[in-house]
Amino acid sequence: MNTDGDAYAAMVQAILVDVYDSAPWTLAQTVSDMNREETNYYLALEANETVIGFLATSIVMDEIEITNLAVSRAYQHQGIASLLLNALLNQDGKFFLEVRNSNQKARQLYEKHGFETYFIRRNYYQNPNEDALLMKREK
């Protein structure tokens, strides 16, 4: 990753800390993920190139898994997550994701964009213990 990439990774990491209060990944893990060949990051930038939101995917053949979607708290409720999703969903393929059962805002966003729950992983998440909903959307 080049210097710009390192700066973007640091901004993505800052969003994770902002949104989750403590990032689920370290900066090194974020950089490593951004460097993987099968991983794509869609970035929402301000005019000064500050990252204010991102969507991360992992692609295997025609299956695209959304691995993370986050928008800085200061920019939430402005349609940025929908813009990021729309940029992704314009592609052909099968789209998958998992989301905490209690994350109503995310579930509503994904349902608004045509995702449907197809499986529940019981007690998948920890701290707190919680089910994961597996969702998919096919064109």
Which residue type sits at 97?
Answer: L
What pLDDT does 25 receive? 82
Q: Which of 98, 124, 125, 130 is catalytic?
A: 98
Enter the CATH code of domain 38-138: 3.40.630.30
Hey, where are the domains in the chain?
38-138
Burial 99-108 (b: 16+ CB within 10 A, else e): bebeeeebbe
Active site residue 116: no
* pLDDT in single tens digits along all 139 residues of the chain: 445 678 999 999 999 999 987 667 889 999 999 999 999 999 999 988 999 999 999 998 889 999 999 999 999 999 999 999 999 999 989 999 999 999 999 999 999 999 999 999 999 988 889 999 999 999 7
Active site residue 138: no
